[in-house]
Homo-oligomer: A and B are copies of this chain.
Amino acid sequence: MSTLHPLKVAVIGAGYWGPNLARNFANSPDWRLMAICDQDGSRAQQLADRTAAVAVTESVDELLASHDIDAVAIATPAQTHHDIAMRAIAAGKHVLVEKPLADNRADGVAMVTAAEKAGMVLMADHTYCYTPAVMKIRELVESGELGEILYVDSVRINLGLVQPDVDVFWDLAPHDLSILDFVLPGGLNSVAVSAQGADPLGSGKSCVGYLSLPLANGALAHIHVNWLSPTKIRQMVIGGSRRTLIWDDLNPQQRISVFDRGVTLQRQSDVLDDAAQRRASQISYRLGDTWSPALPEYEALAKMVGEFAISIREGRSSRTDGRAALRVLSVLEAANRSLTRGGRRSPVSGSGLLLEEAI
């Protein structure tokens, strides 16, 4: 497809997710996979063998010193993201980083600032955003098919591994938050968040959690994450003033349904009679058809590495750039604060501000 020279990339971290990145870089016409870096050299070698990467190294410094690499993809534990990314940016490499961007917002701000100053692309691997379903949702929201967003309700529950280091919010909610950031007009710009969590097992962290995020114009987003559910649900409802969309990710035969059903309230300014009366008379109900768009089939990660390449080539922010990841991180940190204060609504740092102020 591309007649340009492929960009050269190295993957750092050959553990759980690194192999998926390596495979997709290796198969992409936009990229040439040059090297695998992992503290465990044999693990790096194994991955290199499978993906035909040329070089293997245990040293990030050695890797970053190479002039033969344009970009790195960081798939190491969250607490190392900041350090590696800062060094990579300093070395003049574009950076793709796994979610979460960092394990605290301050580090994330530093990463975004450094990348912008250095003119490097800093992109977050918000994989879900590149699935056919979410791409279609973004398109439908953007085109106005749904009208104004009234509410979003997302449920992401299953029998999950109780993670040793993070709670259910940090484990699962980044998916929902990054998707919201991707599809909402203007991105995820809630000024506050309320979090309700429960640790009924006494595991030391929330295993069941709920986030409420007021959106613009009186709308509300709500996220339910849960490690203890015996059934798996991955469902998001996006209620709009014109239509409502339901995304059921576990129904491959009808992942997205768009309902032309709903309640409409005419907002008239020239009506003179009393308010309640007026309101009652202005409410109407639509009971229209349901429509389920056909979705193309492709691997989300392939689309994602493509976007990474394009944003580097065009010198533009990627669709899931560092700022998007920072918005997600900011909500998670605010949720932490809300949890410690009994669910009180906590302000989201940087929300609603220009970057200069936000960071």
Counted per complex, copies of this chain come to 4
Enumerate chain B residues within 8 angstroms of A294, measured Cβ to Cβ. 260-261, 287-290
Enumerate chain B residues within 8 angstroms of A203, measured Cβ to Cβ. 265, 279, 283
* Smallest Cβ-Cβ distance to A231: which chain B residue: B253
In the complex, whether A194 has a CB less than 8 A from a CB of chain B is yes
Query: Given contacts A159-B262, A222-B210, is CB(A150)–CB(B228) below 8 Å?
Result: yes
* Smallest Cβ-Cβ distance to A343: which chain B residue: B194
Minimum Cβ distance to chain B for residue A140 (Å) = 12
Enumerate chain B residues within 8 angstroms of A201, measured Cβ to Cβ. 150, 241, 263-265, 283
A196–B208 CB distance below 8 A:
no
Interface residue tally on A, bucketed by range = 35 or more
Enumerate chain B residues within 8 angstroms of A226, measured Cβ to Cβ. 151, 153
A162–B283 CB distance below 8 A:
yes
Partner of A210, one of B200, B210, B217, B275: B210
Tell me, in angstroms, the Cα distance from A283 to B201 when the chains sit together. 9
Partner of A218, one of B199, B214, B267: B199
B210–A198 CB distance below 8 A:
no
Query: Given contacts A244-B229, A344-B344, is CB(A265)–CB(B159) below 8 Å?
Result: no
Interface string of A267-305 (1 = CB under 8 A from B): 100000001100110010101111111100000000000
Tell me, in angstroms, the Cα distance from A150 to B227 when the chains sit together. 12
Instruction: Enumerate A203-231 residues with CB–CB distance to B below 8 Å.
Output: 203-204, 207-208, 210, 212, 214, 217-220, 222, 224, 226-231
Query: Given contacts A217-B200, A237-B229, A239-B228, is CB(A164)–CB(B262) below 8 Å?
Result: no
In the complex, whether A182 has a CB less than 8 A from a CB of chain B is no
A262–B228 CB distance below 8 A:
yes
Tell me, in angstroms, the Cα distance from A249 to B244 when the chains sit together. 23
* Smallest Cβ-Cβ distance to A296: which chain B residue: B287
In the complex, whether A186 has a CB less than 8 A from a CB of chain B is no
In the complex, whether A254 has a CB less than 8 A from a CB of chain B is yes
Minimum Cβ distance to chain B for residue A155 (Å) = 8
* Smallest Cβ-Cβ distance to A208: which chain B residue: B151
Q: In the complex, which of the residues A199, A220, A246, A275 has the most CB atoms of chain B within 10 Å of its own CB atom?
A: A220
In the complex, whether A232 has a CB less than 8 A from a CB of chain B is yes
A198–B227 CB distance below 8 A:
no
Tell me, in angstroms, the Cα distance from A207 to B148 when the chains sit together. 16
Enumerate chain B residues within 8 angstroms of A162, measured Cβ to Cβ. 263, 265, 283
In the complex, whether A342 has a CB less than 8 A from a CB of chain B is yes
* Smallest Cβ-Cβ distance to A192: which chain B residue: B342
24 residue pairs from A and B, CB less than 8 Å apart? A150-B201, A150-B228, A151-B198, A159-B261, A162-B263, A162-B265, A164-B280, A196-B212, A200-B219, A201-B241, A201-B283, A207-B263, A208-B220, A208-B239, A210-B212, A228-B239, A230-B261, A230-B290, A231-B253, A231-B259, A260-B294, A288-B294, A291-B292, A344-B345
User: What are the nearest 6 A-B pairs in CB distance?
Assistant: A230-B259, A198-B220, A150-B200, A290-B292, A230-B261, A201-B265
